[in-house]
Structure 1
């Protein structure tokens, strides 16, 4: 006659199985695509995507001016840090807010180390360059590194990026730096 395992053994076995399944799913999710910063070299333009992508570096958009500047493409959801020789020193994808600046040329008007964004998220490396619909438009990154979409119905002017990219914009975008917004 065979011994029947006690109910505790079944519960333990099912729990171990469930934990193993969740672990496998977590590992698979962790291997998914992530936004990455890249150094730009001339290449084909990246396509627009709902979030930053790790695609090949995109060329600085035509019609974005000359000289040292920050270029922000609304359509590509991408920023370039361009030096005096018109070479892109860094490019990366961003998560735009719900209110976008009009295409045009602006200047960095102020900077702030840290504050709370209009969406309630703690942010840092804030570089302000425009006002649209009564909202300040600025580059920033979330202190915790997150980039959740803004709450439905919330108007936000923050153009969010990864922490390393936020630090790069902070270092590059001193007061008076030109910011060019293109479609």
Structure 2
């Protein structure tokens, strides 16, 4: 189990580094447009999964529990960005929510300093939402039995979520 955890963390760290490097390549003075990010599990020939059917209409965030993937969807229904995430130990119930609170920086329930926190529900008294570790490559290692609701993103993806998901933005959670 320790070996699998180490391999998973190395892969996640590699993709976080790539996302951070890609963000740094954006021209100075101009913010990069949100673009589709490859899935951490997708190889060079694989494309990210398409937007789930029955995930609503209009501008929204879509989060797939089965795929551990997020889609940022524009008002016209086009996917502006999609990327893989690392879920916490608590999964939200499938349904439609709205962004209820945001914090620039906090310490997650797993003790990891995080930024761009976008919350949309609570479960068992624990906030559920998206966040990015302040330090590149830092991923949660939850204590056994600890309730964590942080759905972790890379720093670049967290910045895109922060810009996109303002208060009251719909969040659709699908199985």
TM-score by length of 2: 0.76
2:123 equivalent to 1:132:
yes
Count of residue pairs the alignment pairs up: 145
Which residue matches 1:53?
41
TM superposition shift of 1:152: 1.9
TM superposition shift of 1:71: 0.3
**Paired residue secondary structure (2:83):** strand
TM superposition shift of 1:148: 3.4
What whole-Å deviation, never above 9, does each CA across 1:140-180 have from its counterpart, x for those lacking one?
Answer: 01101211332222110000010000000000000010000
CA distance in 2, matches of 1:112, 1:136: 12
Query: 5+ residue gaps in structure 1?
Result: 1-28, 47-51
Query: 5+ residue gaps in structure 2?
Result: 1-9, 20-33
What whole-Å deviation, never above 9, does each CA across 1:15-42 have from its counterpart, x for those lacking one?
Answer: xxxxxxxxxxxxxx89x9636669449x
Alignment of 1:1-183 (within 5 A): 34=15, 39-40=35-36, 52-54=40-42, 55-145=46-136, 146-183=138-175
What whole-Å deviation, never above 9, does each CA across 1:40-98 have from its counterpart, x for those lacking one?
Answer: 49xxxx7xxxxx33441221100100000000000000000000111100000000000
- Return the index of the structure with the highest Cα Rg: 1
CA distance in 2, matches of 1:39, 1:76: 19
* Preserved contact between residue 63 and residue 70 of structure 2 (Cα < 8 Å): yes
CA distance in 1, matches of 2:14, 2:103: 31
* Preserved contact between residue 147 and residue 161 of structure 1 (Cα < 8 Å): no
**Paired residue secondary structure (1:34):** helix
| Bigger relative CO (Cα 8 Å, ≥ 6 apart) | 2
* Preserved contact between residue 138 and residue 159 of structure 1 (Cα < 8 Å): yes
